[in-house]
Structure formats: C-alpha cells, structure tokens
Structure 1
Amino acid sequence: MNTEIHNCLETLKRGGLILYPTDTVWGIGCDVTHPEAIERIYKLKQRVDSKALICLVSDFKMLNQFVEEIPEVAYDILKYAVQPTTIIYDDPIRVAENLIANDNTLAFRVTQDEFCKKLLRKFRRPIVSTSANISGQKTPGSFKEIPKEILEGVDYVVNLHRDKRSEKPSAIIKLGKDGGVKIIRK
C-alpha cells in the first residue's frame, strides 16, 4: 500500500490524474487546488463543467479547512449515516474556482476507506473523487468495467482492490445556510 500511496502523491503533486478505489466506486482524482487537472477530468469524462464534482477528505479537521462554515446538522448526519454520505456545503474555500458549482457550493465526503484516508493525510488536502465513467454512462461496479478511454486518460492507476465490487455511489445531501436539508441521491 505504501508504494501505491507514494505513486499517487507524486502524480497528484505534479498536477496529474489518478484512478483509485474509494469507499464507494472507483474514482478519478486530482488535487482540488489544481485548475488544469480539474479541467482534464471534465474533458476525460466528457462532462459539462457546470456539473460539480465530489471531493474526499480524511476527517472533519480537513473539511473545516476547505468549507467556510460547517452546519451543526452535518455532524449528526454523518454520525448516523449507514452508508457513505456526501454532503454539499455552501462557501467552499481554498479550492480551484472551476471546482465550485455555480451556486457557490461544493460536495465533500469524509472517507472511511483505509487507503484513501492514508493518501489524504499524506497529501494534506482534499482530492477530487468522481466516478470512473464517461458522463451519462453507467457507473462501473468494478475495475474491469472501467472504460478504456478512462484507463488511458489518467496518469496513474492504483494497483489495489481491483477485484472489489461496488454498485452504489454515495448518498448525496445538500445543506443550506438556512438549515435546510435536501436529499439529492439516496
């Protein structure tokens, strides 16, 4: 695992894209502060840049460094969540502008995956995590279902958990400044 983390860190630091297993599905990732890398992900996925991406963080401490204010209800939602849950927060900070949605929001998930946690702690900032598919196509449930153009479009492919199967992306909840909670994806 240490070799994989080292290779990912080297790739991320130079603005590259990684393909990696997460606590949900295989993801395409990059440094959240690197606008060119984020642009490459949009192009690779053939996705309009108005459709926001998800970012992974290792813990609440890291999340606090990239969101202006975390609503109290977020802690409760994540404490009682029975599946990986992504929350869309208002007013992200210290990330590339092209990562932020038109309504000044950004989605973050506190990962529970051991590899992701270690990688994030060593990288010391969030990593983009978007499903390894072309926009509009089915999310791959396993490594072998990832399209060839995605495999060839990234700079490093993690050699772990390639036999892992996951059909389900995370739940997504949007939290508003007004205290409103909206379920986007169950």
Structure 2
Amino acid sequence: MNSRVARQPMNRLHPSPRIRLSAVLLACGLWLAQPALADEYAEVQRLHGAGQTSEALARADKYIAAHPADPQMRFIKANLLSASKRPAEAEALLLQMTRETPELAEPWNNLAVLHAAQGQLDVALTELQTALRLNPGYATALENLGDVQARLAAQAYQRARQLDGGNKRLPPKIDALRGLLDAPPKPGG
C-alpha cells in the first residue's frame, strides 16, 4: 500500500513497507508553536532519528505531562509508537486525539494507515472518509483513500476469480492492480 502518514519525515511505519511519509505538521500550519516548543518537538524527533526511541518517548511523555492540551507532541508520540511497532498504543492515542481535537483530520488519516496495515480495510476506508470530511483538500488522505480502494478492488477481483475461474476479464485487472500496489514508493513522497 502506498499510504502516507501525516507526520514528520523520520522513517516508515511498520508492518507495511509501502507507507510513505507526508510533510511536517508544522509546515502544514496545523499548530503554530513558539520557538521553544518547536525545539522540543525537534529534539524528540532527533532522538528518534538517532535510534534513541525510548529516550524520545520518555521526553515526549514528560512534555505531554507539562502540556496536556498540546496535540502536536501527542501526535508525534503516536508516530513514535507506530514506528516502535506498538500499534495498539498508537491507536489508543490517536483515538483519544479524535475525541479531544475532533477538528483535526491527521489523526483519522494515521488511524486509517494503522488499520490498513492490519488488513482492516473497511475500517480504514471509514476513517479516511472522516478525514476528508474534515479537510476535503487533504492530499495525503486522498492518496491513502485511493490505496485502500485499490486494495479493496483487488480483493473483490480475487474473490470473483475464485467464483468464476474462467472469466478472462479478471486476470488483466488483477495484474494491473498488483502492479499498482506493488510499485515502489516514489522518492520524496
């Protein structure tokens, strides 16, 4: 899947190797931070990038304890948890964010990426539709929606082939979608 996560460009979410990262939230203008706060975000990201994820999570937790209303660091923490292969914790934090900051589309997008990676495509579809209701111009969510729909189409074609193995129209469709879904991500994505 070519799904992109709204987050700082640090590394790819796992378990799906196809997940690409989107632009930095600060560049998107979601939260305007004071320089000291931006430095704290950068430091947590630096720690993670240096392979010190435990330290990054501890620093994020300390920051969140002092600034519980700041969604930016909670969002960063959710991405750290995802990158640390702790999707259940990331999901819980993102769900909490959807309740506390319902106007933000990014937590819905990232929930969708987590669910799509787990094969829960119907759930991911609903979450992406929510993200797009909140922000119709959210290109990352639109791309992820296309990826989820392509995976759902591939599943439907595979099921149709199981039911009607002689249908000559299905193999080219399946091959085309397989090529699309297996294509390597584009650099800078």
Normalising by structure 1, what TM-score?
Answer: 0.26
Which of the two has greater strand per residue? 1
Normalising by structure 2, what TM-score?
Answer: 0.26
Specify which structure has the bigger relative contact order, considering alpha-carbon pairs within 8 angstroms and separated by 6 or more residues. Answer: 1
The structure number with the bigger radius of gyration is 2
Which of the two has greater helix per residue? 2
